[in-house]
Amino acid sequence: MFDSIETVQRNLGEQGYICGKNIATVVYLAHRLEKPVLVEGPAGVGKTELAKVVAEATGRPLIRLQCYEGLDEAKALYEWEYSKQLLYTQILKEKFSEAMAGAKTLREAAERIGAEDSIFFSDRFIVPRPLLRAITSPSPALLLVDEVDKSDPEFEAFLLEVLSDFQVTVPEVGTFSAKVRPLVFLTSNDAREMTDALKRRCLHLYIDFPTEEEELRILDVKVPGVDRRLAEDLVGVMQRLRKLDLKKTPSISETIDWARALLALNAAQIDEALVRETLNVILKYEGDIRKAHSELGRLIVRKAEAPPKPAAPAPSAATPASGEATPGAQPVGPAAPAPPKKGTLH
Amino acid sequence: MQKKIVEFTNLLRKSGVRVSVAEAIDAFRALDELSLDDREIFRDAMRSAMVKRSDDIATYDQLFDLFWSGFYDNLRGAFEGMNDELAAQGIDLDQLMRMLQEQLESLEPGSLDLSDLARALLTADLSQLEKLIREAGEQAGIARIENLLQIGFFSRRMMERMNAEGAAQELRDLAARLRAQGLSDDQAEAIRGLADRLLEALRRSVRNFAERELQKQNYDYMERFRRETLTEKSFYHLTEDEIRQMREVVARLAQRIKNVLSIRRRRMQKGKLDLHTTLRRNMARGGVPFEVTFKHRKKDRPKLVILCDVSSSVANVSRFMLQFVYSLQEAFTRIRSFVFVSELGEVTQVFRDHDINDAIEKALDGGDVINVYTRSNFGQAFHGFWQNHLSAVDKRTTVLVLGDARNNYNDPRAWCLREVKNKAKNLVWLNPESPGAWGFGDSVMDRYLPACDVAEECRNLRQLAKVVDRLVL
């Protein structure tokens, strides 16, 4: 399936995931070396998405384990189904009496029950949780351990066995080893540094904010209806926004949200008023919004100078779109951009 | 190749990137799977196997460039530079080379016995040259290079190892011989000139090699040194640049404390058996307690009241103290901050309205509530606090006072502070002066000491971090 880095890139691209060579390289290596991948990076750059897309591209079922504080063995590995055991005991009560009918002493009765131990501690009563499911899955699976940094440090210890040997030990039953090794992705937002033991077992991938071109391509794929020139302006503003010292830097998901919002508003051009009104789509903190407001001039003014330059080297791609957009945009005041543009866009 | 990778791994370790043996093996395995033609892929593959902390990525990238490339390009640069130089003098190097080649061929084979170096120089065989330089470097023990002053020493030593002087001599001899064989004076002169230049280019390259080696071996050394000294450096002598760097260090420290805190808190949480919840949870199993739940022990987060001297003598301490505390906001239920020089004013609101760095600068500037251009008067400030803000203190409050207690011979009014202490859970005084100076001159620290639960010297980041760490526990 993934027989070279280029095919990885292409396959992921077909699933609508635009990635650079670095991501493709690591995915390819993970596939070849059967090693887990620890994906780190700021929130919203597509870490979880990567795992989903790889699952899709390889046709593996995705098994997802969402980590949170207090996540324990019972939720992640396996759990004994107590109620079912209890139910079985109740129903089988008579059988027990039968089995013990011949027993003369208490000791003998206990021996007999002891011999049947394995009935109660068998696969039958185990509820497999994501980790065990990924290991025992008959077809190769993709295990996504999401936001592993949110879990407790003790939880990492459970993970170690799974990640290095692809096996899970249940004390009462024995060890389950993977027949086919699952592909494992762990994602982390760096809320807490993972232990070295865990890191050593994984390949490491750091996904950063995309470059301007990458972001444009992503926007192209994710929000197909958006006007080329609008997209360029929008990405420009985003790239500059990220340079500000913000509490929460907006990432790709915000860019996509914003593009969708602008599309819904039928905006054809980015101007100060529009940005001011829609800033809350991309910035999630009051302080950040205020800061962006004060920098708004710089975010957009520079952009206003920018268009002539990019328009010159790449007229072939931009002409049809910009040809429509510019005349439509000129007479419109910044206050009421929406109504007159309906016609131009659709 | 393997040797080079191992060498590179060692270099990474030396620069503070932790690479385990298992990870190095992973790197080998990864490279087995790939073609090495693409530099970027090569870099990304090795990085994913060996570098696991995002902080280290920048270090890795720079070292990678230093190690895996560059020198060859540099070598080419040196020799191409020579090319241009000659061209400027009206000598066509290509033509000269061609002529030389012809002449060499015309010599009977065997009579010409050039050393490897001379031959490499003469034919401008850069990869051979690189190999020779590297060998010489190894023989000269260049990996031990430690500081700038040794560059000259090592490059000289390498030149000796390569016998560069000898090679130059050979070239000059060659020129003389060609002259004897009927080359024109001009041409022989040109060849001799060429020999000198080749030697010069070689010397430059060797020096460059030594410089790169120094950078490589000691990458991060200065950086680490600076960071370490910064935490030790007294707040009194910080340049503006250092203040900026310090801010980052404080932010990092705060983050670390935050991380540790969440773990510590969770450990403390488990309490007694919670009978009610246990019964309710196990209803489904007929009340047989399969699942046992425990009560959570509630640990109060402390309330904090900060009294900050913002007179210029302690402004830096106050700055980092405030940054620290506000970076750890979630560790406290409530923080109220007051600043004073002689009168006292509350700046809590300032911190609510502005982002942290702006707020701190504003607060240090008096926060529009006090006049900072007066002389320190601790007595008046404490009296003001006692009079107007004592209600801010209750039995769960920790009061943090920051100041040097240099009172300009005013009335210390220590009783105000005592009253505050009686109401508070804790009163902590941080003084940027060392205990030896307390009570001398116009310092009234000795008068305030009885009113403090803890009084500590705090004049660098390490001490500050220690105090803050204790506060949040």
pLDDT tens-digit series, residues B378-431: 999 999 999 998 888 888 888 888 888 888 888 888 899 999 999 988 888 988
d(CA B365, CA B339): 9
Whether B225 is in a domain gets the answer no
Instruction: Say whether both B88 and B207 belong to one domain.
Output: yes
Asked whether the beta carbons of residue B263 and residue A153 sit closer than 8 angstroms, the reply is yes
Asked whether the beta carbons of residue A203 and residue B18 sit closer than 8 angstroms, the reply is no
Asked whether the beta carbons of residue B20 and residue A153 sit closer than 8 angstroms, the reply is no
Give the pLDDT confidence score for residue A309 in this predicted structure: 41
Interchain contact A48–B (C-beta under 8 A): no
Q: For residue B256, give the chain A residue with the closest CA.
A: A192
Asked whether the beta carbons of residue A86 and residue B26 sit closer than 8 angstroms, the reply is no
Neighbours of B127 (CB within 10 A): 10
Tell me the pLDDT tens digit for each residue of B54-91. Answer: 778 877 887 887 777 666 666 777 777 777 776 666 66
| B48: closest CA of chain A, how far (Å) | 4
Supply A35's token pair.
């090693």
- The DSSP line for A176-198 is EE-SSPPEEEEEE-SSSPPPHHH
Global ipTM = 0.72
Say what percent of chain A tops pLDDT 90: 12
Give the pLDDT confidence score for residue B37 in this predicted structure: 76
Residue A335 has pLDDT above 60, yes or no: no
The confidence band for A342, taking pLDDT boundaries of 50, 70 and 90, is: very low
Mutation target to probe the B interface, by most B beta carbons within 10 A, among A198, A200, A289 is A200
Name every residue whose Cβ is closer than 8 Å to that of residue A309 and which is 6 or more positions away in sequence.
Answer: none
Instruction: Say whether both B122 and B198 belong to one domain.
Output: yes
Asked whether the beta carbons of residue B30 and residue A40 sit closer than 8 angstroms, the reply is no
Instruction: Say whether both B255 and B327 belong to one domain.
Output: yes
Name every residue whose Cβ is closer than 8 Å to that of residue A240 and which is 6 or more positions away in sequence.
Answer: A298, A299, A302, A303
Whether B338 is in a domain gets the answer yes
Parse chain A into domains and list their residue ranges.
Answer: 5-71+134-206, 78-125, 212-330
Report how far apart, in Å, the C-alpha atoms of B444 and of each of A73, B376, B410 are. 58, 12, 9
d(CA B324, CA B466): 11
Residue A329 has pLDDT above 50, yes or no: no
- For A:55-114, CB contacts with B below 8 A are 69, 82-83, 86
The confidence band for B269, taking pLDDT boundaries of 50, 70 and 90, is: low
Whether residue A204 contacts residue B47, with contact meaning beta carbons closer than 8 Å, is answered with yes
Instruction: Say whether both B185 and B76 belong to one domain.
Output: yes
Asked whether the beta carbons of residue A86 and residue B52 sit closer than 8 angstroms, the reply is no
Q: Which residues does chain B have within 8 Å of residue A37's beta carbon, measured at their own beta carbons?
A: 48
Average pLDDT, chain A: 79
Residue B334 has pLDDT above 60, yes or no: yes
Tell me the pLDDT tens digit for each residue of B285-301. Answer: 777 777 788 877 666 66
Give the pLDDT confidence score for residue A346 in this predicted structure: 38
Name every residue whose Cβ is closer than 8 Å to that of residue B205 and which is 6 or more positions away in sequence.
Answer: B74, B75, B78, B129, B133
- How many domains, chain B? 3
Across the interface, of A86, A206, A291, the residue whose CB is closest to B57 is: A206
Domain boundary among B18, B52, B68: B68
Give the pLDDT confidence score for residue B71 in this predicted structure: 67
In CATH, A5-71+134-206 is 3.40.50.300: yes
Instruction: Say whether both B19 and B97 belong to one domain.
Output: no
Contacts of residues A119-125 at CB distance under 8 Å and 24 or more positions apart, as own/partner, are A120/A85, A120/A88, A120/A89, A121/A80, A121/A172, A121/A173, A122/A173, A123/A173, A124/A84, A125/A80, A125/A81, A125/A84, A125/A85, A125/A88
Supply B250's token pair.
């404080």
Instruction: Say whether both B63 and B77 belong to one domain.
Output: no
Contacts of residues B113-118 at CB distance under 8 Å and 24 or more positions apart, as own/partner, are B114/B170, B114/B174, B115/B163, B115/B166, B115/B167, B115/B170, B117/B162, B117/B163, B117/B164, B117/B166, B117/B167, B118/B166, B118/B167, B118/B168, B118/B170, B118/B171, B118/B174
DSSP 3-state of B213: helix
Please name the residue ranges forming H helices in B218-337. 221-232, 240-269, 275-281, 315-327
Instruction: Say whether both B316 and B443 belong to one domain.
Output: yes
Instruction: Say whether both B306 and B452 belong to one domain.
Output: yes
Interchain contact B456–A (C-beta under 8 A): no
Domain boundaries, position B27: 2-68
**Which of A265-274, B93-102, B105-114 bottoms out in mean pLDDT, i.e. has the lowest?**
B105-114
Instruction: Say whether both B133 and B119 belong to one domain.
Output: yes
The confidence band for A165, taking pLDDT boundaries of 50, 70 and 90, is: confident
The confidence band for A275, taking pLDDT boundaries of 50, 70 and 90, is: confident
Average pLDDT, chain B: 79
Tokens 């760097």 — which residue? B245
Mutation target to probe the A interface, by most A beta carbons within 10 A, among B25, B29, B44, B257 is B44
Mutation target to probe the A interface, by most A beta carbons within 10 A, among B18, B52, B355 is B52
Interchain contact A199–B (C-beta under 8 A): yes
Name every residue whose Cβ is closer than 8 Å to that of residue A198 and which is 6 or more positions away in sequence.
Answer: A38, A156, A159, A160, A163
Whether B344 is in a domain gets the answer yes
Whether B311 is in a domain gets the answer yes
| Strand spans (E) along A174-292 | 174-177, 183-188, 203-206
d(CA A155, CA A153): 5
| B312: closest CA of chain A, how far (Å) | 28
Residue B236 has pLDDT above 70, yes or no: no
- For B:20-79, CB contacts with A below 8 A are 20, 22-23, 26, 29-30, 33-34, 38, 40-41, 44-45, 47-49, 51-54, 57
d(CA A218, CA A215): 5
Whether residue A133 contacts residue A49, with contact meaning beta carbons closer than 8 Å, is answered with no
Count of helices and strands (H, E) across chain B: 21, 8
Instruction: Say whether both B91 and B163 belong to one domain.
Output: yes
Asked whether the beta carbons of residue B41 and residue A21 sit closer than 8 angstroms, the reply is yes
B235 or A164, greater pLDDT: A164
Asked whether the beta carbons of residue B48 and residue A193 sit closer than 8 angstroms, the reply is no
- For B:100-139, CB contacts with A below 8 A are none
| B220: closest CA of chain A, how far (Å) | 21
Whether residue B363 contacts residue B337, with contact meaning beta carbons closer than 8 Å, is answered with yes
Instruction: Say whether both B54 and B154 belong to one domain.
Output: no
Q: What is the CA radius of gyration of chain A?
A: 28
* Average pLDDT value for residue range B196-224: 75
Instruction: Say whether both B361 and B420 belong to one domain.
Output: yes
Give the pLDDT confidence score for residue A185 in this predicted structure: 94
